Structures are given as C-alpha cells and as structure tokens.
Amino acid sequence: MLSTCTAFILSKTEIITNAHCVAGAPYIYVVAGTKVALEKNLIKVEKGRFAYHPHYNESIFGAFDIAKITLEKPLEFSDTVGSIKLVDKDYKLNNSSEVVTVYGYGVLNNIRPITLRRCDAKYIFDVKRANIFNPFQTLYFTTGDSTKDGEIITAGDSGGPVVSKTNGKIVGITMGISGTTGGRGMFLPITLFLDFIHDPKSVKPIPPSLTPNEVKFIADIVVQPKFLTAYNEDYADTDENFQLQFNAIILSETEILTCAHNVHGAPYVYVIVNKLTSNTKTIKVTKDQIEIHEKYAFPGLTFNIAKITLKEPLEFNDNVGSIDLVDKDYKMNDPSEMVTIYGDMELGGSVRTRRYDTKYLDGAKCKTELDDLFDANHLMCYTFDESMGNPCAFGGPMISKKNNKLVGMTIISLLDEPVIFQPIAPLLDWIQKPRP
C-alpha cells in the first residue's frame, strides 16, 4: 500500500504538493483524473523531477512545506483532468467571513478505497497557537459542512488545494491538522510561495549558521521582558523565567554596545559571549554598568544606543574578540557600497546566527517608506530579503565590506519594510568618551 498525499495541477507538466510528501523519496507516483485513488494508471516521477523549498526543514513542522513536481510527459487534459489558477501576490487573507473549499484524498475512518472529498471552511488566525507555528506562514481553517463523506481534514489531505469560493483560485495548500479528525486544519498561504512555484531555483538557500570564530565580536543581551520599557506591558503576565534575547557588539575587553531599548528600564541584564561554543560565558550586568545615550527617549528610535561596561575584562581568544569602529569622517553616501549584517535571524521557526550582504538606502527613500517613524537626520535603513529570514538582530552589527569596520547597528525591523539602523560615525564621541 502506497502512502498517499494530495496535490493540485497548475499546468500539463506542473504539480504542487507538500514538501513532506516527497522529501527523501527516490521516486514518487502521480495519478490524475480519478475520484478514487486506486493504485493504477500511476505516473512514476524520479527524484530529479521534483523540488521542495530550499528552506524546508522536516524537523520544523509546517515551515516552507511546499514542493513542485515537473512531469516529463505532459498530462492530457480532459473533462476530469485540468488545471487551476493561483491568486495574485497581492491577495490578502484578511476577511474572516470568507469561505474556502478544501479538497483532499485523506483517509476517513480507515475506510478504503480512498475517495476525493471536499468541504467548505472559514479561515482564522489562532493567536493562542502563534508561538507554535510561524504566524506569517501558517493559517488555520475550521471545517464546515462537508459533502457526503464527512470531515475533510485527515491523513492524506496534505498538499491539497484550498480554493477561494469568491474567485475560484488557489489561496493555500493544506499542511496538516491541529487536534483530532474534524478539528482545525492548517494551510500555507500560497502568496508567500509564488516565486518558488514559478521558478524553484530563484529562491536562495538559507544562509548557514556561522561558526564561533566568524561571530566572535557578537554578544547577546538576555533580559526578562517585564523589566523593559519597550516590552513590560506586552509580557506582564508571562512566567518570570521567560526571557528575551537581543544582539550586542563587543568593542573591547570591557565595553559592549547594544540598542537602548534592549536594556532600558531593566535593573539588570545578562551578557552572553562565546555563545556558539560549549564554553559560553554569562555575565550579570547591573543598571549602574549601563549607560544610555542622554538624547534617547522611548519610544523614539534616534540615539537608540547603550554602552555596557564590564567589571571584569573579557578574555579574548579565537572565539571572543572585538570589531574596529569606522572613523568620524566616514560618510555613508555611496548607494553601491555593500555591507554585511550579522545577527540572530528567525526562519521557519528556527533562530540562527547568520550574516547577509546588502546595500543601504538613503534617508530620503527611508523617510518615504517609513513616514514619521523614520528620522532621516539621525537614522538610515537597508532592505532585507525576507527569503533569508526575519531579522530579530536588534543590536546586531553592520560591517563595511570595504574596510571591515563597524559602520552601523540594527535598531528595529518591521515586516515588509526597510530595516532601520543607527550609523556609528555620528556617535563616535559618545561611544568613545570615558564613563563619568
């Protein structure tokens, strides 16, 4: 007996399903044009003709769980075999009353042969489960009245199409089920994967996690959110052991640089160095060791910088070291200059320390895109490729590829918008002045 998944046809040679339905298989079989999934008229597809998303990770449930199958011989379209269109990239799943139709070959009550079923459903966003599944990829739908054969969401429905009853186009791909049969199903919004569907090779692989030596100048700041001015209301009811983690930059054996909002209001924080090795060192830092720029005012973003002075110097080695600062006269006025951003970035539910190269944008463009949030006199921004992960590297360094020196520090990132950073050169006097 073959393991069954559902899929949908885009063209005579293109089929879409879940990555977990094909990942690791030397070959698969495709059958089209039948309501009953019988093991005959199967089309064998070798491994080289199906590709799953390069960011897919089988250990992270639901992350980038999509695959494309390219047939060697085109299907013959007929009354029972045909294609369906996808929604456009700007389609928004923002109407909780909209009804979708879900199709699948899932096994129901262990009854065989397996029959294609469908049901109408509404989609929701389950806030309570947002910490389990990536909320920017995974949405839920609740099953409605199904046709004849009972509830739709069962084993085997994975990879099936979620079709809008408004426009008759694919809006999602079924990924799995939360709870028991007939419970909430989960699907991936198809708009996030249009680039992959049209050209799987166009999606960049995930940047690998960096080695300890590559990030020896990066430290982490760990703090309980209830202490922080920027977070205490949001996390007021969380367990006291719950902590937030931010990035920081090692300037010398006794000096650490980070964002002001990473430490503002906290009576103490922890600094972690050598974090990617078994010799990680955690240092408790009290409020008297933290200096916040005198012009910083929450919730503003300008002068969002803080310096930590350690009581005991760090021991520099192959995995712990510092980064040089640019000179005071350094000008960020060349839009073609490449810089490298370092920090912890989330992708598919997994946070890793990564780097990526980018270009910075001039203040006028940032101001246009970010409006009043952006102060073009003190801040700059850079574009971020969302396929590389969501940046959570507040306090992470930006290093010039031209001179290998620190030119900026990430302040804040907003989904689908430029990432704001603080140029270092205008703040050198403050950074380098001795503590009072």
- DSSP string spanning 117-157? EEEEEEEE--GGGTTTS-TTT-EEEEEEEESSS----STT-
Fold of 207-436: Thrombin, subunit H (2.40.10)
| Statement: the pTM of the whole predicted model exceeds 0.75 | no
> Residue 14 pairs with which residues in a beta bridge?
70
User: Which residues, 6 or more positions from 130, have their beta carbon under 8 angstroms from its beta carbon?
Assistant: none
Instruction: Pick 372 or 428 by higher pLDDT.
Output: 428
Domain ranges for the chain: 8-202, 207-436
Q: How many CA atoms, within 13 angstroms, populate the side-chain half-sphere of residue 262?
A: 34
> Is pLDDT at 65 greater than 50 in this prediction?
yes
Report how far residue 434's alpha carbon sits from residue 324's, in angstroms, rounded to the nearest whole number: 17
Note whether 145 and 119 are within 8 A (CB).
yes
Domains 8-202 and 207-436 share a fold: yes
| 206-238 pLDDT tens trace | 777 788 999 999 999 999 888 898 887 777 666
Architecture in CATH for domain 8-202: Beta Barrel (2.40)
With a pLDDT cut of 70, the percent of the chain lying above it is 80
> Is pLDDT at 375 greater than 70 in this prediction?
yes
Query: Using omega within 30 degrees of 0 as the cis cutoff, is the peptide bond preceding 74 cis?
Result: no
